Amino acid sequence: MSESKSFYAFVESVAQKKQLIVQPRMGVSDFKKMGQGLRAVSNLPFPVVATITIDSFTRNLELQELDQVLKEGHELNGFPLITYGAESLQELLKTYSRPDLLVQVRHGSPLPYELFKVMVEGGIYFSEGGPLSYCLPYSRVPIEQTLENWTKSLTFLAQYPAAHMESFGGCMLGQLCHPSLLIAVAVLEGLFFKQCGIRDVSLSYAQGTHLTQDLAALRVLQECATQYLEGCNVHRVLYTYMGMYPITPAGARALLKESVRLAKISGVERLVVKTEVESIRIPTFDENINALITAHRIAESKEILSDVTFDLEEYDRIKLQAHSIIHAVLSLDACVGEAIGKALHRGMIDIPYCLHPQNKNQARCGIDARGYLQWISAGNIPLDSKTISPYFGRGFKLSPDGFINMLSFMQRKFDGAA
């Protein structure tokens, strides 16, 4: 695989044709099957990025336990790249016939250095994550350790001109996080990448609970990308809703359609899709391929662009909040990594409902009557109180049932309408 393939050049060429790149999540432990998956994606006659998702043992560097599980004949929830090694990856990338296919390694690791070494040696320079987005939500690794390892990993990756990094910061915990905080985390991780020498960057955003609010947020994300990441090639990547997903096939399809609509109206370059079985299990390759075909078809239809309202006031609020967080964090230290660490300790970055031992967990978000995400409490996050909706009053107390209702808001909305 040639090193000169540029992620951004591909993104640009597709964007010029006003098309949307679609991408699956895809990873299995069986080598042959992984090759079949990549081949199936590469055979699609429209713009795609392929994915190798890494298993959770490798993510946590539990490689001995991984060996044991494989020996016992169990399947893993992803591709164990470190265990297979770089040569195997090179072999794997020969199994499909489209040399221009971009393959991104998706991993979830708070300590990705070992993985990046194998990945690069095997011929892939495109990955994702970040020191906040892959430390806080699911790991217990101290942020200091994550920042150190990520600095080393990215400095290593940045030696290769083709290197592309996507911040997963716009997807913190997958649901119930305010758009302004998602944007701030994505931008801060993008700045961290830049400081490590990465010049080809994408910023993520997970579909929220209301199309209009998301449109406002994605415009803010676009402007922040231009403003803060000068000197980098930047594009945006949207994730179809990552929270509790509709159970009915019709509800799941409708939510996928809504996310494609959001991507097209906001001009996002890339979309990571979900399948119809998402609420039940890990999808098969066929289900993934079908979701990509469906997403592409919807993206090409004109009707989805009609009847759009833009909420200028919400846009202003999200913009003020995102800038406020980014400025406050950057003012803590000239080194972005140091600033991120300090901000976490002070609760200036505080991810709602995140149970990482270093996350203050005083910030709370909820869903208002319109279906917008709002702050229940902002904790110590530096926000101008004038920008916070008064919907959840001071004395508001989140009940267990109220919480379940918010968690399942999109599931009920789309299953109900289906």
Partner 1 sequence: MHRKVILSSISSDSHVWNLIYLQLLLEELNFDVINLGPSVATQDLVKACHRHKPTHLVVSTVNGHGYIKGLEIIRAVRQMNLLKNMNVVIGGKLGVNGVISNEQIQHLHAEGFDGVFVNSTAIEEFRYYMHQGQRVMRVV
Select the span of 132-140, 142-150, 158-166, 256-264 touching partner 1 (CB under 8 A). 132-140
Q: Closest distance between partner 1 and the C-beta of residue 339, in Å?
A: 25
- Binders of partner 1 among residues 10 to 49 (CB under 8 A) are none
* CA 70/CA 68 separation, integer angstroms: 5
Residue 64 lies near partner 1 (rule: CB under 8 A) = no
Select the span of 44-52, 86-94, 311-319, 398-406 touching partner 1 (CB under 8 A). 398-406
Residue 399 lies near partner 1 (rule: CB under 8 A) = yes
Backbone angles phi and psi of 216, in degrees to 5: -60, -45
Q: Which residue, chain included where needed, has tokens 């994606």?
A: 41
Q: Which is nearer to partner 1, 141 or 304 (CB)?
A: 141
Q: Closest distance between partner 1 and the C-beta of residue 63, in Å?
A: 14
Q: How many residues bind partner 1 (CB under 8 A)?
A: 18
Q: For residue 385, what are the CA distances in angstroms to 317, 321, 382, 390?
A: 10, 10, 9, 9
Q: Which is nearer to partner 1, 122 or 137 (CB)?
A: 137
Residue 360 lies near partner 1 (rule: CB under 8 A) = no
The full length of the chain comes to 418
* CA 320/CA 316 separation, integer angstroms: 6
Residue 22 β-bridge partners: 48, 271
Q: Which residue, chain included where needed, has tokens 């499909």?
A: 96
Provide the CA 95 distance to its chain's centre, in angstroms.
27
Residue 63 lies near partner 1 (rule: CB under 8 A) = no
Q: Closest distance between partner 1 and the C-beta of residue 400, in Å?
A: 4
Coil/strand/helix, residue 54: strand
Q: Closest distance between partner 1 and the C-beta of residue 58, in Å?
A: 13
Residue 398 lies near partner 1 (rule: CB under 8 A) = yes
- Binders of partner 1 among residues 88 to 117 (CB under 8 A) are none
Residue 67: CB partners within 8 Å, gap ≥ 6? 83
List the one residue from 34, 173, 188, 363 that touches partner 1 (CB under 8 A): 173
* CA 32/CA 38 separation, integer angstroms: 10
Q: Which is nearer to partner 1, 108 or 337 (CB)?
A: 108
* CA 275/CA 271 separation, integer angstroms: 13
Residue 403 lies near partner 1 (rule: CB under 8 A) = yes
Residue 56 lies near partner 1 (rule: CB under 8 A) = yes
Q: For residue 67, what are the CA distances in angstroms to 35, 75, 83, 154, 402?
A: 21, 11, 8, 27, 43
* CA 333/CA 191 separation, integer angstroms: 13
Q: Which is nearer to partner 1, 60 or 207 (CB)?
A: 60
Q: Are 66 and 58 in contact (CB under 8 A)?
A: yes
- Binders of partner 1 among residues 239 to 268 (CB under 8 A) are none
- Binders of partner 1 among residues 318 to 357 (CB under 8 A) are 353-357
Which amino acid type is present at position 44?
L
Q: What angle do CA 49, 225, 184 make, to 5 degrees?
A: 100
Window 137-156: contact mask with partner 1 (x via CB under 8 A): xxxx----------------
Q: Which is nearer to partner 1, 250 or 355 (CB)?
A: 355
Q: Which is nearer to partner 1, 62 or 91 (CB)?
A: 62
User: Which residues in this chain contact partner 1 in the complex, by CB under 8 A?
Assistant: 56, 60, 137-140, 173, 353-357, 398-400, 403-404, 407
